[in-house]
Amino acid sequence: MASFLLNRLFQALVTAFGVITLVFFIQRLTGDPTALLLPETATQKDFEAMRQTLGFDRPMIEQYLSFLGDMIRFDLGRSFIQNAPVSEILASRFPQTLQLAGGALLVAFAIGLPVGVIMALTRGRAISRWIMGLVLACQSMPTFWSGIMMILVFGVWLKWLPPSGTGSLAHLVMPSIALGLLSLATYARITRSAVVDELGRDYIRSARARGVRTPRLVRKHLLRNSAIPVISITALEISQLLAGAVIVETVFAWPGLGQLTVQSIASRDFAVVQAVVLLGAWVTILANLTADILYSLVDPRVRLGNQ
Amino acid sequence: MKSTLKLLLASVALTTFAMPAFAKDMTVDLSGEPSSLDPQVQWNPDSYYVYRNIFDNLVTRDNEGKIVPQIATSWEQVSDTEMLMTLRDDVIFHDGQKMTAEDVVFSIKRITDPEFGSPQLGQFDQISDAEAVDEVTVKLTTDGPYPALLAQLVKLSVVPKHVVEEVGDDAFNAAPVGSGPYKFTDWNRGVSVTLTRNDDYWGDAGSIETAVFRAVPDAATRLADLQAGAADLVVGLDSDAATQLAGQDDVQLLSAPTERVAYLGMNLDKPPFNDPELRKAASMAIDTVGITEGLLGAGEVSVAQLASPAHFGYAEGIAPWEFDPEAAAEIVSAKADVAATPATFATAPVFDQRIVQALQQMLNDVGFNVSISVTDMPTYLDIVRSDPADNAELSFGRWSCACQDADGIAYPLLHSGSNWSRVNDPKLDELLDTARGSLDTQVRQDAYNQVHQIVRDNYYTLPMYQAAVLYGAASDLTFTPTANESLFLNRMTWSE
Amino acid sequence: MASATRYRSRYIAGQLLAWWPAILLGLMVLMAILAPLIAPLDPNRQDLLGRLKLPGYEGRGGTYWLGTDELGRDVLSRMIYGSRVSITVAVLSVLLSGIVGVTVGMLAGYLRGWPETILMRLVDIFLSIPAILLAIITVAVLGPSFFNVILVLALTRWPRYARVAYGQTMSIARRPFVTLARSMGCSVPRALLLHILPNIISPILVVATLEFGLMVLFEAGLSFLGLGVQPPTASWGAMLSTGRNYVTSAWWIATFPGLALFLLVLSANLIGDRVSDIIGKGR
C-alpha cells in the first residue's frame, strides 16, 4: 500500500511538473499583458518601462528558473492584473468552485443513480428507452443556452430564484443544475450498465428465485456491487466539472475557478493561470487516487498495486 | 408552492419599497471585477466606476462636461510650465485625518514615479515636479507648456500619504482609504465591492446609503438581473437591449454620447489601402448613417474627424463622408487587381461585432476582399500595435483618452512618433506638436482644424461617429450619464 | 399473404421509428451538402433596414421564412449553411482526435516500457490543461480559422481516445495471436493495424459516437466565448450564442438554430447509446 502510494505520488509529481512547464512556455508564446495594463495613449517608452517592472525583459529561461524556484518554496507569485498574491486569489475562489462542483455532483448523483437503476430494471421496455432519451436530451443543449433560459424562466419570469451571483443556497440551485445536467447522462448510463451486469449474476437470480423483492434487492446488493464504475466515473467527472464550469460560471456570474481561468488567460495573468492549472492537475490526480483507494474498500477483490 | 413564494417575495419587495427612498441600497452590475481599487494603479472602466466614488480628484467635470473645482478650489498658470493650485482645507480622509497639501504632492509624486510603475504614468509624466508651497497651496511644474494638464488632473485621485506609507501598496489596494463621498467597506474577491456613504463628506454625499458593485460577465445575465430587480444599474449594454426591455415599465435605458470616437483604421503601408483613391472608395462605401441610425440608434453622432463635440479641438465644418457605393464600386473596379488584395480586419470580442460585420459587408459590396479575424484582446492589441508589415489591413476602434482633448486621440493615432499611428506625414506631426506644446487655445484650435482637414483630405483614417454609452437602470433611479463614462453615486438619486 | 405484407410494413415502420436519429442525422448531412442548392437567400446578405424581422417578412431579398437576424440576414439560409460548419467541425475533430489518440494509446499499450511512460504521462498532462487555455493559445499563436477550431477540439479530446485504446491494447497485446504474428516477422505498425486495431475498434467507436455530440456542443461553446469560426460565417453555435441576447425581443434568431443543434446532438447521443448497447451485447 505504502509503495503504491509513493509510486503514484511520484508519477503525479512528474505529471504536475510537465503540466506546469508546458503551461509556462505555451502561454508566453502568446505575448504578455503589457498592452492591457497600459492606457491606449502609452508610448513605446512606457511599454519598455512596464516590461521591465514586470520582469518580461529577462531571458525566458531565466524567468522559468526563477519561477521554478518560487514553486519549490510554495510561492505562487503575484497577479499583476489583480495586484494581489495568487494564493489569496485562489483561496477566495476555490471554495466557490467546490460548492458548485458539489452541487452539480449532487444533482447528477441524485437523479442519475435512480434513473440508471430504473432503466436497468425496465430494460428492453419502451419506458427505458424514453427515459434514456429524456436524459440525453438534458445534455444536448449548450450550457450557455440552457443557462440563460433558466435565468429568464426562474429568475426573471417566475422570480423563484436569484438570477445570478452568490450568497445563499438559492443562488447555488440553477448553476448546479446547469452543470449537473452535463454529468447526469453519464451517471445514468454507467449505473444502468453496471446494474444490468449485476442482474445477470447468479446470486441475484437465486435471490430472485427465493422471492426477494426488487427494492430490497436494489438496496442490499445491486447498489453496492455496482459502485466501482460509479466511483471511477466520479473521479473523471470531477476534473470534467472543473473544466465545464467555465461557461456555467460565466453565465451565472459564479466567482469560481472557471471564470478565473478564462479571465486570467484572456488577460495573460501568467501567475494565476499557472496556479489554476496546477491546482486543477492536483485535483485530477487526487481524485483518481482516491477513487483507486475507494475501490479497494468497496470491493476487496481489487488489490492496490496491481494497476 | 409557487404562489406562497411569490407572496413571500412580494412582501419582501413591499418592505423594501416602503422604506424611505434615501435608504434604498443600490446594486450595480459591472462586466468585470475591478482590477484595482488603488486609483493610481489601473485605469479601466470596471475599476474606476468603483474607485472614483472613494476618492476625490484635484478637479472634476460636472454633468455638462465643464472642468470644475473639487479638491482644488482655484488654479492659476503662473508661467508656461508652472501652475499654482489652492486646495480646500476642510477635507477629511475616511480614517479621520485631515488632507493637506502634502497628500496632494505625495499623490502626484507617487503616480509619476517610474519605480511605482503605474499604468497611468503616460498621462502624468509631463508633470516633472510638485511641491507644497503652504498648507493649502501646491505648485505643479511641467516639462514644457502642457495644455492638457487640467484635463488630466480630472483623473488624479488624492490618496492619503500616511495610510499608503504605513500599510504599503498591496494593503492599500485591498482596503483603500480616500476622502470621497463613499467609503470602502468590503471587497469580496471575484464577487463584489461594497461601498457605504461617507456622512462626513465635505460636499454632497448623495442619497444612496450602500452600493454594491458586482462582476457579471455575461451581458444577457446583466440584463436579466435588471429585469428581475436583482440589479438597479447595469453597464455594457448595446442598443438591441432596448428592444429586450420594451414593454417593461420598471426599467429604463439611459444613454449619453461619450468622448469615444469610433473609427476604421487602415494600414497605409500595405495594399489595398496604401492607395489614397482606394481609401476614398472605402470612405464612400461606408454608410455611417446606416450604422449610427439603423444599427446603433443610441444617440451616436456622425463625425468625420478624430474628435467629437465633447472634445477640445473639435473642428466645425469638416464635411461628412459621402456615402456613394456606386462611385466607390467604380473606383474599385478601375483598380480591381489592387483592390482585390486580401485584407484582414482585426478585431476582438469586446468590440461590437455587429458593426465589424456590417463594415466588412459594406467594403466587400463595392469590391474589396475583406475577411474578419477575431482574436482575444491581448493578441488583438499586439497585432494593431505591430509594425505596418505585420499589421492587419483594417481595424475598428473606439478611442478614448478620458481627457476630452483632441490631443488624446489625434496624437496617438496620427503622429508618426506613436506606435498606434499608421500615418507618417511631417505636416501633421508639426501641427500636432504645436497643439500639444501651446497654452494658447486659439493656436491649438487652429492647429487641430488643419489636422482634421488634412486627415479628411487624405483619408488617412475613417472616423465614423462619436460613440454613445448605454446603461440599463431601474426606472425610479435618476442618473445623468456623462461623456467620461463615470458612475458617480453622489450624483444619483432615487425618485420618491 | 396480406397479413405478411402488413407484418413486413409494420416491421419497417418499427425500424424507422427505432432508427429515426440516424435518419435525422442523414437528413442534416444532406442539408449540409446541398446547402447552396436549397438555401433561398445569400446567408451573408445584410440589410440594416430589415433587422430583427419576424418570420415570413417580405424584404429586399425576397421572403425571409424564418425571419431576419441582428444584421438583417436570412435566418433560414444561415441555418442551412450553418449545418455545414457544425457538422464538418464535429466530424473532422472526432476523426483527428480519434486517429491521434488511438495511435498514441496503441503504441503505449503495445510497446510498454519507456514509450508507455512518456506517452501516458503526456496524456495525463493534456488531460490536466484546461480546454479553454488550449483554445485561446491556439488562436493567439496560429490565428483564428476554421481549421484551428478543429485543431483546438482535437488537441483537447485526443487523450480520451488514447486512454481507451491503451487499456484495450494492453489487454490483448499478449494474446497468442499477436505474439505469434510478431514472431513470424510482422512489423509493429502492421501488427497494430492488422491484429490489434480490429480487436479494439468497438469500444473506440462507442467513444467516438458519444464524442460527436460533444464536439458539436464544444464548437458552440467556443463561439460563445468568441473563439469559434470567424464571422460572418454561420454556425449553429454562433447563431445560438448571438440569438440568446434576443430571446425576448426576437425569439426566432435563437430558436431555430437552437432546435437544429439540439436535434443534431440528441440524435448523435441516441445513436451512440444504441451503438454502445449493441456492441456491449456482442461482447
Per-domain boundaries in chain C: 22-43+62-282
CB contact under 8 A, A136 and C270: yes
Query: Rounded CA gap, A265 and A252, in Å?
Result: 19
Largest CA distance in chain B: 75
Q: Quote the longest CA-to-CA distance of chain C.
A: 75
Which residues of B fall within a CB distance of 8 Å from C54?
none
Q: What percentage of chain A reaches a pLDDT higher than 70?
A: 94
List of domains in chain A = 89-269 (1.10.3720.10)
ipTM rounded to 2 decimals: 0.86
Name the DSSP letter for residue A221.
Answer: I
Alpha helices (runs of H) in A29-85, residue ranges in sequence order = 34-37, 44-54, 60-72
- Per-residue pLDDT tens listing for chain C (283 residues): 456 677 777 777 776 667 888 999 999 999 999 999 999 999 999 998 889 999 989 988 889 999 999 999 999 999 999 999 999 999 999 999 999 999 999 999 888 888 888 898 888 888 888 888 888 888 888 888 899 999 999 999 999 899 889 888 888 877 888 778 877 878 888 888 888 888 888 888 888 988 999 999 999 999 998 888 998 999 999 999 999 999 888 999 999 999 999 999 999 988 888 877 777 654 3
On whether the CB atoms of residues A172 and A103 are closer than 8 A, the answer is yes
Interface test with A, best of B189, B214, B263 (most A CBs within 10 A): B189
Nearest CA in chain C to B361: C46
What is residue B290's DSSP assignment? I
B295/C48 CB distance under 8 A = yes
Q: Is C71 near chain B, with CB under 8 Å?
A: yes
CATH superfamily of C22-43+62-282: MetI-like (1.10.3720.10)
Q: Which chains touch A (3 or more CB pairs under 8 A)?
A: B, C
Give which of B455, B413, B448 is closest to B432, Cα–Cα.
B448
CB B473 within 8 A of CB B233: yes
- Over residues A170-205, the pLDDT tens digits come to 999 999 999 998 888 888 888 888 888 777 777 777
CB A17 within 8 A of CB A71: no
Distance (Å, whole) CA B169 – CA A53: 15
CA C122 to chain centre: 24
- Nearest CB partner across the interface for B374, out of C51, C226, C250: C226
Nearest-Cα residue of chain C relative to residue B380: C140
DSSP 8-class letter at B405:
B
Which residues 126-145 on chain C approach chain B with CB closer than 8 angstroms? 136, 139-140, 143-144
Instruction: Give how far B31 is from chain A: nearest CA, Å.
Output: 10
Give the gap in angstroms from C-alpha A80 to the nearest C-alpha of chain B.
Answer: 9
C-alpha torsion angle, residues B362, B363, B368, B374 (rounded to 10): -100
pLDDT tens, position by position, A101-143: 999 999 998 999 899 889 888 887 888 888 888 888 888 999 9
Q: Which residue of C has its CA nearest to A275?
A: C129
Assigned C-alpha cell, B283: 470612405
| Residues A27-53: tens digit of each pLDDT | 888 878 887 777 666 777 778 888 888
Q: Selecting from 3.60.150.10, 3.40.190.10, 3.40.980.10, 3.10.105.10, what CATH number does the domain B259-467 have?
A: 3.10.105.10
Block residue for cell numbers 469610433: B262
- What Cα–Cα distance (Å) separates residue A79 from each residue in A90, A196, B36, B165, B174? 11, 51, 11, 22, 13
Residue B452 near residue B24, CB atoms below 8 Å: no
Q: Name which of A152-156, B413-417, C34-38 the model is least confident about.
A: B413-417
3-state secondary structure of B119: coil
The tally of CA atoms less than 13 A away on the side-chain side of residue A292 is 16
Q: What is the third-level CATH fold of B24-203+475-494?
A: D-Maltodextrin-Binding Protein; domain 2 (3.40.190)
Model pLDDT, residue A39: 67
pLDDT, mean of residues B352-368: 94
Q: Report residue B5's pLDDT band, with 50, 70 and 90 as the boundaries.
A: very low
Q: Do B379 and A50 touch (CB under 8 A)?
A: no
Alpha-carbon span A240 to A54, nearest angstrom:
34
Residues in chain B: 496
Alpha-carbon dihedral sign for residues C237, C242, C244, C249: negative
Can you give the C-alpha Rg of chain C in angstroms?
23
> Would you call the peptide bond into C189 cis, given omega within 30 degrees of 0 as the criterion?
no
> Cβ(C158)–Cβ(A307) under 8 Å?
no
Measured in whole angstroms, the distance separating CA B401 from the mean position of its chain's CA atoms is 7
What length does chain A have?
307
Residue C270 in contact with partner chain A when CB distance is under 8 A: yes
| pLDDT digits 0-9 by tens, B242-276 | 778 877 889 999 999 999 999 999 999 998 999 99
B427 touches chain A (CB under 8 A): no
Q: Which long-range contacts (CB under 8 A, 24 or more apart) does B490-494 make?
A: B490/B53, B490/B181, B490/B182, B490/B201, B490/B203, B490/B204, B490/B205, B490/B206, B490/B208, B491/B63, B491/B206, B492/B26, B492/B206, B492/B207, B492/B208, B492/B233, B493/B206, B493/B207, B493/B208, B494/B21, B494/B22, B494/B24, B494/B207, B494/B208
CA distance B320 to B322: 6
Q: Which chains border B (3 or more CB–CB pairs < 8 Å)? A: A, C
